[in-house]
Amino acid sequence: MRTDSRIYVAGHRGLAGSAIVRRLRDGGYGNLLLRTHAELDLTDQGAVRAFFAAERPEYVFLAAAKVGGILANSTRPADFIYHNLMIQTNVIDAAHRCGVKRLLFLGSSCIYPKLAPQPIREECLLSGPLEPTNEAYAVAKIAGVKMCAAYCRQHGVEFASVMPTNLYGPGDNYDPETSHVLPALIRKIHDAKVRGQDEVFVWGSGLPRREFLYSDDMADACVFVVSKLPWSLGGEVFNVGTGEDLTILDLARLIARVVGFEGRLAFDISKPDGTPRKLLDVSRLRAAGWRARTPLEHGVRASYAAFLEIDGAHPPATHSSKEKRYALDHS
């Protein structure tokens, strides 16, 4: 990839896409093709083909997707399967038609089987039943991974996929209804501090272990894969993570420390925990020479600083009065 290559980042205003744009700009890549959702709806095949034919990108980072937390995924599965299948099918096929040199598709660690052995290796894909709450999303994303592999096999193109673990970073989604666990905890603990609460209730027992990757590290991995790896690897899948996990309890304590919340953390065990542990095996990318660099506390501090910058847009959320609370004391 040359610094003047024509590079299309799909989804450039999202958490992942905006980090990829930052990383590319930092690396001197100045010829970025960017379109907002309003300018180019990627579910519209005609519009996508016209865009590729007119702009002729050489490299594509496919970070546009319909993404949501457990609530959104479990209540609107049709939206998640439809939008994601359409976006990725249109972009991958148009990239092939226009002779794109390399395309990187962003999958997700949540598309591995629910009971995959830990840490999860790339070979585990399609080896068992999926987590039911996000099955529709996962099926769409698996289709994207397999579509890249099929185009490589049939057409000899250089399309690959990365499977990032849970991401967090500047510009994350802090909506209480649709956010993922780390931004949701930042939001909840920040709100508690602002309101002067002496207690915060955290969803579940606090005991499940999870892995979190700073979005800029994920972007660095994406650029590494596209620009540095030999592409006999077309169709390959690369896990992207830190290789380290921690309990939700330890995460909540870390966030409370960063936010400056001095009250008590209580755990609502009426809420489901999900799988006890989710950690990616990152040895494939490590062997190739890449590893994550941002310590979790550093990344959470940077994310919270960015959150505070747009604090006007984050008035304290109202919590449901029906929320059933059982305190589990970890102190």
Ligand X SMILES: NC(=O)c1ccc[n+]([C@@H]2O[C@H](COP(=O)([O-])OP(=O)(O)OC[C@H]3O[C@@H](n4cnc5c(N)ncnc54)[C@H](OP(=O)(O)O)[C@@H]3O)[C@@H](O)[C@H]2O)c1
Report yes or no: 133 and 70 within 8 Å, Cβ to Cβ. Answer: yes
In the list 6, 37, 193, 253, the residue contacting ligand X (rule: CB under 6 A) is 37
Among 7, 8, 17, 280, binds ligand X (CB under 6 A): 17
Residues assigned a catalytic role: 137
Residue nearest to ligand X (CB): 14
Q: Which of 5, 89, 166, 205 binds ligand X (CB under 6 A)?
A: 166
Smallest gap from Cβ 221 to ligand X, in A, equals 11
299 binds ligand X (CB under 6 A): no
Angle at 320 between CA 111 and CA 299, to 5 degrees: 50
Tokens of 79: 């939206």
Instruction: By CB under 6 A, tell whether 63 contacts ligand X.
Output: yes
Least separation in angstroms between residue 240's CB and ligand X is 8
Is 239 an interacting residue with respect to ligand X (CB under 6 A)? no
69 binds ligand X (CB under 6 A): no
Of 63, 64, 50, which is closest to residue 97 (Cα–Cα)? 50
- Pair 58, 76: CB distance under 8 Å: no
Residues contacting residue 63 through CB under 8 Å, at least 6 positions apart: 9, 10, 11, 12, 14, 16, 17, 20, 106
State which of residues 20, 24, 64, 225 lies at the interface with ligand X (CB under 6 A).
64
Q: Please give the C-alpha separations between residue 248 and each of 92, 123, 209, 229, 255, in angstroms, as whole numbers.
A: 36, 27, 6, 34, 10
Among 14, 57, 77, 234, binds ligand X (CB under 6 A): 14
Q: Does 66 bind ligand X (CB under 6 A)?
A: yes
DSSP letter at 280 equals: B
- Residue 70: CB minimum distance to ligand X, A: 12
Closest-CA residue to 146 (of 119, 111, 99, 114): 111
Least distance between ligand X and beta carbon 15 (Å): 4
Given the rule CB under 6 A, which residues bind ligand X? 11, 13-17, 37, 41-43, 63-67, 83, 87, 106, 108, 164, 166-167, 173, 180
